[in-house]
Amino acid sequence: MNPSSRRILVTGGAGFLGSHLCERLLRDGHDVLCLDNFFTGRRENILPFLSNPRFEPIRHDITMPIYVEVDRVYNLACPASPVHYQYNAIKTIKTNVMGAINTLGIAKRVRARILQASTSEVYGDPEVHPQDESYWGRVNPIGLRSCYDEGKRAAECLMMDYHRQNGVDVKIVRIFNTYGPRMALGDGRVISNFIVQALRGEDITVYGDGTQTRSFCYVDDMIEGLVGMMESPKGFTGPVNMGNPEEFSILGLAETVISMTGSPSGIVHKPLPPDDPAQRRPDIGLAETRLGWKPRVSLEEGLEKTIAYFRTALPGKKSRAGRRRRSS
């Protein structure tokens, strides 16, 4: 038996990030409780782990209390794409707020360490660039995105209040755009949207003129950062930015995906959604200094792996783009 083995709860464990985290923790020899209500999480993501005796799936909605005995809690439960978190805005903010309260209740009761998966959305449409952790953000509190943005800000507030008032050992990570295998086909995130449209030979939808920028971090790098933050010295609460500081325009990303898939897709422009930030790029100096963490996987390398995943995940598996590529 691994003497350093822990019993770890991962909320949202059947989701994109959560399933990769469960896989990493199992590989490290830990016992993993994977909690998910399967709203955006998918059983397919955790099927490979079901035969592992250290893995325990729990179907549960984290807006309701649950009582488990664990050493660590990763709170990842919440829809993370606009399509999903705007579908039921009230449910989204309840998941953020009640989910934080319920997981903090577990951590307080059993003296577990807890990591809150926060988001770059707490910065809103930023007035400073790049964004570091000292920036308080520019968020519309009554906009279409506020159920997610303000929900995550409230979750950070709860984490720090439980830390100050009750001595709970908390860690906060602000996650910037992350991508990779196991993203859902229709999750509405820009990289999955572009790849799916390209592989289907459909025109790629770019909102606005495409000059808005984002940074994209491959999932393996992000999981390394989350684990590193969880196991960082006690008292270092964060928040800590995690993402890739390289900046890419949305239009440039669309052109790259078309080129890498060999797709016949064109590009169509549609109006920019409300409160869509013009720039998003993390300052990761704190993560580099305190955790020795920075992303290693380039965008091209990560896109290759993600495109390969979607080629097999798409229904029928044979896309127009794939046929074109084979004949070229």
Q: What is the pLDDT along the chain (328 residues), one digit of tens a residue?
A: 465 799 999 999 999 999 999 999 999 999 999 999 998 899 999 999 999 999 999 999 999 999 999 999 999 999 876 777 777 899 999 999 999 999 999 999 999 999 999 999 999 888 888 989 999 999 999 989 888 899 999 999 999 999 999 999 999 999 999 999 999 887 778 999 999 999 999 999 998 888 888 889 999 999 999 999 999 999 999 999 999 999 899 999 999 999 999 999 999 999 887 767 777 789 999 999 999 999 999 999 999 999 999 999 987 654 444 433 333 3
Active-site annotation holder among 74, 85, 123, 148: 148
Question: Can you give the pLDDT at residue 182?
Answer: 95
Contact 201, 160 (CB under 8 A): no
Within-domain flag for 179: yes
Inside any domain, residue 127: yes
With respect to residue 74, please indicate whether it lies within any of the assigned structural domains: yes
Inter-residue contact 276 to 213 (CB < 8 Å)? no
Q: What pLDDT sits at residue 240? A: 98
Q: Which residues contact 125 (CB under 8 A, 6 or more apart)?
A: 138, 139, 140, 275, 276, 277, 278
Nearest to 19 by CA among 54, 53, 43: 43
Whole-number pLDDT of residue 326: 35
Q: 222 lies in a domain?
A: yes
- Measure the CA–CA gap between 22 and 74, rounded to whole angstroms: 10
Q: Where are the beta strands (DSSP E) in 219-303?
A: 240-242, 248-249, 267-270
147 and 95 Cβ atoms separated by less than 8 Å: no
Is 31 within the bounds of a domain? yes
What counts of helices (H) and strands (E) characterise the chain?
Answer: 11, 13
Domains contained in the chain, number: 1
Q: Residue 133's pLDDT is what?
A: 94
In b/e form, how buried is each residue of 89-117, taking b as 16+ CB within 10 angstroms?
eebbbbbbbbbbbbbbebbbeeebbbbbb
Residue 128 forms part of a structural domain: yes
What are residue 318's phi and psi, to 5 degrees?
-105, 105
Distance between CA atoms of 234 and 232, rounded to whole angstroms? 7
In angstroms, the CA 241 to CA 237 distance is 12
Q: Tell me whether residue 114 is in a domain.
A: yes
The helix or strand, by DSSP H or E, that contains position 75, with its residue range, turns out to be strand 72-75
Structural domain span for residue 289:
7-183+217-244+281-296
How far apart are the C-alpha atoms of 31 and 114, rounded to whole Å? Answer: 16
Strand partners, 270: 207
Q: How many residues does the chain have?
A: 328
Q: Which amino acid is at 196?
A: V
- Give this prediction's pTM: 0.90
**CA gap 103, 129 in Å, rounded:** 33
Dig out the tokens for 179 from the structure: 């991508």
Would you call 148 a catalytic residue per the annotation?
yes
Q: Is residue 105 part of a domain?
A: yes
| pLDDT for the residue numbered 212 | 87
CATH no. for residue 235? 3.40.50.720
Task: Show Cβ contacts of residue 136 under 8 Å, excluding neighbours closer than 6 positions.
Answer: none
